[in-house]
Structures are given as C-alpha cells and as structure tokens.
Structure 1
C-alpha cells in the first residue's frame, strides 16, 4: 500500500460541490456570482439542448447548450427571473442570456462556470495543487 493511500478518500470526505466565484463584467461595472454545476444539472442541460434536425437525427444546439449552462450556473443575476426575461423580450432563461450579454461576456461567464465545475485547465490545476 502506498503512502498516498487514503488521501483521495480524505479529500472527497472533506470536499464540497457547492463552489462559487465572482466574474467581473466591465461593461456592467459589476460582478456576477457563478457556481459549479452538478452532474445531474449538466445532464438535463444536455437533454434540453439536444433537438432533432430536419432528418430527425438528434443534434446538440451548442449556443443553447452554452446559454443554458450560464443560466443554470449563474446565481446572481438569476436569468430565470421573470422581470429580467420580460425586460429583454426573451422566451426563456437561455434566450435571456443571449440577449442580455455580449459574446465575449458569454464566453467569460461560461468559462467561469466550467472551471468551477471541474472543466478548467488541468495543467494549471496540477501546478496549483503542487504549491
């Protein structure tokens, strides 16, 4: 048995999946609060963004998938808020994301949600863990 045996178990027992971070949006001069997504939330987003094409084959709408990830991962603002959806004339929370944010802002917020959800740069994470 190696000397590292049990460290993974200890790490999991002491870990939380409830991770949050701030993303500054310079145009709005404010920070959004984003959180990590669960496996179940990611699965539901994937299902909702998968639509049949003209041939009846299922295909994931990448723009909808990304907008839904932001809508689910954003704590503040809440893109499901009825007043926000109405303000932007959006049909739902994903549409609200695409109407309220610029493309670069979408990319920035999406990256923060993905990083918190464990999809960050592996090399950077390894370096941080070493230090």
Structure 2
C-alpha cells in the first residue's frame, strides 16, 4: 500500500524553474532549482585558501557561483558576455554585470526553488 509521501515522490520532478524580473534591465531572467551535487560543487568552487594553510567559504563568490549554476537565461558562461564585462570567468561576470541586490534576488530565488524556502510560509500552507 503506497503512502502519500511515496506517491508524492514518485510523481515529483526536480525540474523547478521560475522567472525573476530585473527592473534595471527591464527583463526576466530564467532560474532553476539546483541539485545536491550542484550545491556541493558550488561550495567547493567558492572555498578558497586563507593564506594560513586553511580554507574557508567566500560568501560573495558562493552567491555568484549559485547564480551562475541556477541561471538558465542568461548564460553567464557565454564567452561574449564574459568578454563584454572583462570578466575572468562566469562568477566574475555575475558580479560585474549585476548590482548586489540583483544578485541577492536571483540567489534567493534559486535557493527557494531548491527547497530552502521560508519555513513560516510552509507552516502556514500546511495549516490550510
């Protein structure tokens, strides 16, 4: 006998997408949910040496890498876009092409789609 949880998992997809409007650019960006593996790779990519033989997470780099991995359109790894902003890579392109608040807006939407949404909202939905 199947349970509600099992039925939900069997009918679910990890392919979650959303549109994020960027007023300054007067356009929508398409973003997607990230998998656990993509999050792990983003964490690895944003973990940098401290100079004392240790490593720590660079939060700004992590945010930019998540935007790169979560953005379907535009593609921040596009060579023309990287050249236009004189960026060294896709994450650098994010920080040079977008304002800090725009990065946060995209970052937050990617996290929400990836299951890191507002717990208060989830509790309220469960009550109804």
**TM superposition score normalised by structure 2:** 0.95
RMSD: 1.1
Q: Which runs of 5+ in 1 are unaligned?
A: none
Q: Equivalent residue of 2:122, what SS?
A: helix
Question: Are 1:69 and 2:74 an aligned pair?
Answer: no
Task: Identify the match of residue 7 of structure 2 among 6, 10, 15.
Answer: 10
- Which residue of 1 is the match for residue 90 of structure 2? 93
The CA distance in 2 between the partners of 1:32 and 1:50, in whole Å, is 27
Q: Which runs of 5+ in 2 are unaligned?
A: none
The CA distance in 2 between the partners of 1:109 and 1:51, in whole Å, is 23
The CA distance in 1 between the partners of 2:61 and 2:127, in whole Å, is 37
> 5 Å matches for 1:2-41?
6-41=3-38
Q: Which runs of 4+ in 1 moved over 4 A?
A: none
